[in-house]
Structure 1
Amino acid sequence: MSELILHHYDFSNYSEKARVAMGFKSLRWNSVTIPPVLPKPDLTPITGGYRRAPVLQIGADVYCDTRLILRELERRHPEPSLFPAGSTGLANAVSAWAEGPLFRAIMLYAWGTNHDLMPPQLFEDRAGMRGLPVPSVASVERAAARNAPLVRAQLPLVEDMLADQRTWICGERFTVADLSVFHALWFLTDRSDRLGHELAHLPAVAGWMQRMRGLGHGQREDLTAEEALAIARDSEPVPSSRNGVRYPEDPELGSLVEVRAADYARDAIVGRLDFLDTDEIAVRIRNDRVGDIAVHFPRIGFELRPVLG
């Protein structure tokens, strides 16, 4: 059995980002399929309440958000690299655009166009995550109409990146930028063929998408949620071998803290601060189902606050 356990679901674009990373690195991994909406009774015990997909479990250490998941895969399996020397800055800049303005427009366009193909509770679940009223069918269709021009304005940028016949987004070496752009475009066409016409006039993108799909997902083996929880219960969090970095403004190690995503998902994960580095936060949680768990988050995109009182 592989040490890598990915908790995910099939139409999650960020899960696809992690799955393709596994394929690029030719990794063996265990697959636990989770529900796309709450309740997630076999996920939240190992995350302290974090509910987004995917989540990477390694024993009693749990890694949240693909930015950190990819770095952890790289640390444990450095070759072939997702972060080749000389490309990291450019790749991260492209990723910030792809997972920001590009994906937001694609998400709203695709959701509004394919709303009848989505799980019935999906819009209610996502509205609850944002603290907003459940949108009507008419409102998601209007959002799709507003965002269709924004998608069409940005897709030619990807075609232009590849117009010199380079193999990958940043040149001849694969980077995280390929994963970030791919999962956004994958979301545009994965649920149906209704939006395939948006890519039909982009031949360089079509060739690149074919190369991306050719990477596969590595060697996947199914695992039940109960089996994954048993692995966590029978393991202990592994102390980091790094010294870590704590800034003067940070809470003290060992203190009670909460971690929240900096965007719309405002669920707080509360635990004891276990580790801090320039790009990582780890908190220790405990519950009756799994015992002690270390839950890891990236610094960027998450807020760390002391629990007061």
Structure 2
Amino acid sequence: MAELILHHYDFSNYSEKVRVALGYKSLDWSSVIVPPVTPKPDLTALTGGYRRAPVLQIGADIYCDTRLILRELERRHPLPSLYSPGQHGFANAVAAWAEGPLFRSVMLYAWGTNHDLMPPELFEDRARMRGLPVPSVKSVERVAARSAPLVRTQMSLIEDMLADGRPWICGPNVTVADLAIFHAMWFLTDRSSRLAHEFNRFELLRQWMSRVKGFGHGRPRSMSAGEALEIARASLPSDPRTSLRQPEDPKLGSRVEVRAADYARDAIVGTLTFVDDDELAVGIHNDRVGDVVVHFPRIGFELREER
């Protein structure tokens, strides 16, 4: 089976989400460290311009966004499962909350509290991604203070989810909901212990965090970006599965643009090779990597014919 190559960086909470999934499934994988800020010439050569981390590479197939990365890991390594029957819809709904209102509050609180520990260029880079002015130190501290009560309120919700004695967020089985909530909670304490006190009154949440941390990160080995690009160049994209187009979708083989729906909206332009209810895939060519196929989740990305 083709090698799993994760392009990520250490304090990326979404990367941690995938690292824990690799640990839960006890997988071997190769670790390519990418810069946390642009430029990212090696990563964008693989992705056609997509700049967010993490990205999962399997030969000449490149998977973007953790929602799709986890589904692809599940497809290739189905046991132990992250998508238990009867819990899939519920788990995805919880994950949508965790990666929306919950994580936004956590991110603003943690960044404002730990701004002196962050790379100095990080705030400028993230502001540029969103088309906003670079915030001042005082403004991020004010936003952190406003976000703190929202974080505590939502931590209480997590505590309540576990109050009936269930070991995992959706019941007896681990699901994507556990990973989505964990990556938000992990962000509170990753850079420092300044916010560790927020867990003091949430005993069930602390115990659950310990269980998730116990999955570890699987068995990583270091790989250079150059080696990963050579693997892509020497590989062929996998044959596309049968597409299930919606009537409004562009035709297979047409030139299309794919953009994130929220921020970092640079277009990835290529040939549409696959589309169904969950996934979009476009073929691109780059002189550094040859022909690759870049995959995106359907939700959270826009698909349109090239203008």
User: TM-score, structure 2 length as denominator?
Assistant: 0.98
State the superposition RMSD in angstroms.
Answer: 1.0
Aligned counterpart, 1:87: 87
Letter aligned with residue 72 of structure 2: E
Aligned counterpart, 1:106: 106
Aligned counterpart, 2:40: 40
Aligned counterpart, 2:291: 292
SS of 1:43's partner is helix
Residue correspondence of structure 1 range 190-269 to structure 2 within 5 A? 190-240=190-240, 242-269=241-268
Residue deviations 1:20-76, cap 9 Å, x none?
000000000000000000011110000001011100000000000000000000000
Aligned counterpart, 1:54: 54
Letter aligned with residue 281 of structure 2: A
Percent identity of equivalent pairs: 72
Q: Verify: 1:4 aligned to 2:4, yes or no.
A: yes
- Counterparts of 1:254 and 1:289, CA distance in 2: 23
- Counterparts of 1:24 and 1:269, CA distance in 2: 31
Is contact 2:2–2:58 with CA below 8 Å preserved after alignment? no
Aligned counterpart, 1:270: 269
SS of 2:41's partner is coil
- Counterparts of 2:30 and 2:41, CA distance in 1: 19
- Counterparts of 1:93 and 1:299, CA distance in 2: 15
**Offset of residue 109 of structure 1:** 0.5
Q: List structure 1 segments (4+ residues) > 3 angstroms apart after TM superposition.
A: none
**Offset of residue 2 of structure 1:** 6.3
Which stretch of structure 1 is more off in the superposition, 134-143 or 202-211? 134-143
Aligned counterpart, 1:304: 303
Is contact 1:106–1:187 with CA below 8 Å preserved after alignment? yes
Letter aligned with residue 97 of structure 2: W
SS of 1:300's partner is coil
- Counterparts of 1:89 and 1:277, CA distance in 2: 17
Is contact 2:270–2:282 with CA below 8 Å preserved after alignment? yes
SS of 2:213's partner is helix
Letter aligned with residue 304 of structure 1: L
- Counterparts of 1:287 and 1:53, CA distance in 2: 20
Letter aligned with residue 197 of structure 2: H
**Offset of residue 103 of structure 1:** 0.4
- Counterparts of 1:271 and 1:129, CA distance in 2: 22
